[in-house]
Amino acid sequence: MTVLDGVIPDIEALADPRLRAAALGVAAIAVAVCLVRMVLHRRDARAGRRSARLVVVAAPPEVDPDGAVLAWRHLAQIERSAWRRFWRGQPHLVFEYAFTGPGLQVRIWVPGTVSVPVVRHALAAAWPGAVTTVINVHEQEEAT
């Protein structure tokens, strides 16, 4: 008795042309789904880059440390459902910290597929008194 004794009948079952056709059909559907996902992910990423914005946050002098938890809770609103994430992907925010003398400036790169008012409201709720400025990155690149 060898290890392959139980496997050989299963391999012989693939000799049936109906099973081969079904296996090819399943493989073709899997490849089609992967290609559609790839196209949709790329299109969404391109749209995000094309209309990206930069939200510049001038933090108030006194900041409540618990405000960070509140900001992340509000920013969770941009998370897509599992179904949309599967087909379109999840947009990402990028945070930069710039120290300007005694002050701190936080910059958030927001892709075009994310609502800027959601980001601004999250920051206003977390840190009352924070001033946000929105810069359209695409227009700024064309000007330079």
The token pair that represents 81 in the structure block: 């459902």
Measured N-to-C along each axis, helices 67-75 and 116-126 cross at an angle, to the nearest 10 degrees, of: 160
Q: Average pLDDT for residues 91-114, to the nearest whole number? A: 84
DSSP string computed for 47-60: HHHHT-EEEEEE--
Q: What are phi and psi of 46, to 5 degrees?
A: -65, -40
Q: Is residue 41's pLDDT more than 80?
A: yes
Domains recognised in the chain with CATH numbers: 3-143 (3.30.70)
| Residue 5 banded pLDDT, cuts 50, 70, 90 | low
Q: Is the pTM of this model over 0.85?
A: no
Give CA separation, 133 vs 31, 58, 62, in Å: 44, 8, 19
